[in-house]
Structure 1
Amino acid sequence: MSVTPEAIPARACAGVDWAKDDHAICFIDPDGLVVERFTVPHTAAGLKTLVRRLLAVGVAEVGIERGDGPVVEALLQAELTVLVISPNQVKNLRSRYGSAGNKDDRFDAYVLADAVRTDRRRLTPLTRSTPATIALRSTVRARRDLVEHRVAAANQLRAHLQVVFPGVVGLFAALDSAVSLSFLERFPTQSKADWLTSKRLADWLGKLGYSGRVAPETLHQRLLDAPRGTTDDNAHAHTATTLAFVAVLRALTTQIDQLEDSVAAQLDVHPDRHIMTSLPRSGMLRAARLLAEIGDARGRFPTADSLACLAGVAPSTRQSGKVKAVTFRWSADHQLRDALCDFAGDSRHANPWADDLYQRARARGHDHPHAVRILGRAWASIIWRCWQDQLAYQPDRHQALQRVLNEQARKVA
């Protein structure tokens, strides 16, 4: 049953333009006239004042540009309905009230409030995941940030060593591995590495517990074949730089390992664990990241398409007259897109249906990222269905997968 305009009660609305130091607020009446404008500082007292004044004028619904942070928490604790209107939408809405397009906090607060008044049916109230999921999301994202820092530090160390000690750059499989960092701590310069022979290197690796597949003789030959590093009087200064990077990488690795343990512990007790861990090649970290980014507030994604669109794996279609363009969806939740595409790209190595879909996309001329997004959109529908029904993924009930398996069986026969 559709809702008629007459069935919607008139109400006062508010808009909050969030900022780092203070927030602009605008109250409007049911006819769109401004009742009051004011600002509050971003302090505990300021947020209490904001909530008190909202409740005093009978505001029940508030428009804001972001769905997290202390302001949103204060509004939700006061049992106010929060309607998130993205900055891109606000930018486009400004043209309703003038063509200048100027950015002004007080004006944006009015635009947010008026959008709540006029476009309430188009807006979905903010639904929050449980505190356990929010905590998991924070841990997962913190770990990912530290991994990015580790990659950056390893690249800086590599650039430094290519100048002062090239032999160690390709000595082991990874420059930030434990054995590579231990080698640099023991032999930080070319002069100290010159002391090594095949036997001495083998003895040192044995004491370290090295279990690599490369023989010590081969590793020693790599040192000999590489260009010579710095051996002059400035080698000591270069050593300090090398050891500084090594210390940073060790600290980052330790903290990443601790966060991984925390992610595993949080995932083990989460009610939706069985859904994400049942997906092919999800693993602990991928499952935790998918769960963290999708969340457990089922009302956030009423349809599978809503999940695919927010994840940026559904294309954006623009049509005017006879011109129709299907393009990449730039406006998306980038964390969610990265989590879904990371899973989808690897799932093809364990799921014949996923591999078939990916290969057919490549055969049509799509590059790898585009083919992964196509696969991600297909997985979004499956994940959404499992997520809504709170059921694990069951390959034997996946009809498209069974068709692919049957076709492969007939070809073999």
Structure 2
Amino acid sequence: MPKFWCGIDWSESLNDVAVIDESGEVVAHTRVESTPEGVKEILALLRGLRTSHTHSRKQVPVAIETPHGLLVAALRAKDQPVIVLHAGTVARYRGRISPARKKSDRTDAALLANIVRTDGAWHRPMPRTSQEAMAVTVLARAQRKAVHTRQYHRNQLRSLLREFYPAALEAWQDLPHGIVRAEARALLALAPTPDKARQLRKRHIADTIAAAGRTRLVDDHAERLRAVFQHPHLRHPPHIEEAMGQQVQAALALLNQACASVEYLTEAATTAFHAHPHAEIYASFPGCGPLIGARLLGEIGDDPSRFTVRGLRAYAGAAPLTWESSSSRVVTHRRMANSHLKEIGHIWAFATLTRSPGCRAHYDRRREQGDRYAAALRNLYGRLLACLHFCLKNSTPYREETAFPGGCE
């Protein structure tokens, strides 16, 4: 059992470091920068707490409120146990010490250490995730963020086109991805206003969409687009329309950059995923393509001791939450979970419905028992996570007959 506990109240400039003993008294305090010298100072402080051959700095857990940053990465690289505490948890503990909940960097550092000293059993060190898995985490989260950015710029462009250029929305409204399609963006760059679109000939349209990647029914599609652009619509005065066309070009440039970022990060994330030893196990599951697998691996990691089956399902938001008091008992879905894992879990479970008879039968059975759509998918997701935990623990691929004995019955 550790005899000392350390807390770090981090900031962009100086980090307050406090060490407490078994009685909760602060025995050491310093302020360091997030530099190699600062890390050396922290490690030297922990190493010098006791002059004994039985004492090691690795026996001193370090509590901090963020899992990110260079300081945390440097401590983990030195095998220093780091425990991440949620800021909301720390705020509640602050009220136990002082009703006024006063705050300062120095006292917060000691508070972090005291939380681990008194309730250390409830807080676990950061998992021992490999560098390969952490790289997948970075790329998968960046790809997810890029997708959201692309959707934002798509909405901005669509809102602008609705104000003065409805033909551009009608042209691709029945096709997948709409104005995000490469051919749509290429044609909007060629004709950013209704007047320029009306002047386009069929051959110009066909050449543009073919250069953007369309290979099937090019002439038919060009003829349809020309008819849409020729159809009469309400118009703004010419000067206003031209100004809004310039705004379209600016919005289109942002959308093009967002689309390029999504494509680049998608390729990078899937490449990093395929290079990981667990990729074959993830890929053996129905509906788990390279991108879904990368997001799952990025959030779950590859530390075999990190999760139990129950803990993994709770972490992913797939386990129900029970509120029980006196004679009342309410079972609801878990809102506090890893949002990245919860989101991709819904997509993964939905994708299995057409790829796995067992998953489809399980989903239909939950619906027949009264579950609504989202609840049935969550239950299926929880079942898939249990199968995934077993396969990763035993280094075996997914087998339909083992996961869902009885198949479609």
- TM-score of the aligned structures, taking structure 1 as reference length: 0.87
Where does residue 194 of structure 2 map in the other structure? 190
Q: Shift of the alpha carbon at 1:208? A: 5.9
Is 1:168 aligned with 2:173? no
C-alpha deviation, 1:205, in angstroms: 4.7
Conserved? CA contact 2:183–2:213, under 8 Å: no
- Secondary structure of the corresponding residue to residue 116 of structure 1: helix
| 3-state DSSP of counterpart to 1:300 | coil
Contact 1:167 1:226 in 2 (8 A): no
For the 8 Å contact 2:62–2:83, the answer to whether it is kept is yes
Separation of aligned partners in 1, 2:12 and 2:309: 35
Q: Distance in 1 between matches of 2:87 and 2:366?
A: 34
**1:189 and 1:231 in contact (8 A); partners too:** no
Find the counterpart in structure 2 of residue 179 from structure 1: 183
CA contact (8 A) 1:51 1:74 kept: no
Matched, 1:322 2:327: yes
In 1, the alpha carbon distance for the partners of 2:208 and 2:267 equals 31
Alignment-mate amino acid for residue 21 of structure 1: S
Match of 1:305 among 305, 310, 313: 310
Q: CA deviation at 1:168?
A: 0.7
Task: Say whether the 8 Å CA contact 1:293–1:339 is kept in structure 2.
Answer: no
Residue type of the partner of 2:184?
A: S
> Is 1:22 the counterpart of 2:2 in the alignment?
no
Contact preservation (8 Å) 1:190, 1:230: no
CA distance in 2 between counterparts of 1:23 and 1:372 reads 44
Alpha-carbon contact 2:187-2:208 (below 8 Å) kept: no
Compared with structure 1, are the counterparts of its residues 48 and 204 closer, same or farther at alpha carbon in structure 2 (3 Å cutoff)? closer
Residue in structure 1 matched with residue 75 of structure 2 by the alignment? 75
Q: Which residue of structure 2 aligns with residue 403 of structure 1?
A: 406
Long gaps (5+) in structure 1: 1-7, 408-413
Match of 2:247 in 1: 241
Write the deviation string for residues 4-23 of structure 1: whole angstroms up to 9, x where unpaired: xxxx4x61111122333332
- The alpha-carbon deviation at position 94 of structure 1 amounts to 3.0
Could you tell me how far 1:82 is from its partner in structure 2? 1.7
Q: Distance in 2 between matches of 1:218 and 1:311?
A: 46
Q: Counterpart of 1:128?
A: 128
From the superposition, tell whether residues 360 and 22 of structure 1 become closer, same or farther in structure 2 (CA, over 3 Å): farther
Identity of aligned residues (%): 28
Residue segments in structure 2 that go unaligned for 5+ positions in a row: 51-56
What's 1:282 paired with? Answer: 288
The question of 1:34 aligning with 2:34 is answered: no
Go from structure 1 to structure 2 and tell me whether the alpha carbon gap of 1:206 and 1:33 turns closer, same or farther (over 3 Å shift).
closer
Quick one: structure 1 residues 79 and 284, their matched pair in 2 at CA, closer, same or farther if it must change by over 3 Å? closer
Q: Residue 357 of structure 1 aligns to which amino acid in structure 2? A: H
Tell me the residue number matched to 2:154: 154
1:355 to 354, 360, 371: 360
The CA deviation at 1:102 is 4.1
| 1:410 paired residue number | none
1:153-211 per-residue CA deviation (whole Å, 9 max, x = no partner) reads: 11111111111211011212210111101111211111112224667645665676633
User: Which deviates more, 165-174 or 30-39?
Assistant: 30-39
Confirm or deny: 8 A CA contact 1:25 1:109 kept in the other structure: yes
Q: Which moves more between the two structures, 100-109 or 197-206? A: 197-206
How big is each residue's C-alpha offset from its partner over 1:91-147, in whole Å with a ceiling of 9 and x where there is no partner?
333344344444443333222212222233333222231111111111111122111
- 1:236 to partner: Cα distance: 2.5
The alignment's C-alpha RMSD in Å is: 2.5
Moved more, 332-341 or 230-239: 230-239
Size of the alignment, in residue pairs? 395
Does 2:266 align with 1:260? Answer: yes
1:291 maps to 297
CA distance in structure 1 between the aligned counterparts of 2:161 and 2:291, rounded to whole angstroms: 32
Q: Does 1:227 align with 2:219?
A: no
The answer to whether the 8 Å contact 2:64/2:84 transfers is yes
Of 51, 54, 62, 2:46 maps to 54
**Is the 1:190–1:228 Cα contact (8 Å) retained in structure 2?**
no
Amino acid at match of 2:253: A
Match of 1:3 in 2: none
Measure the CA separation in 2 of the matches of 1:97 and 1:209. 64
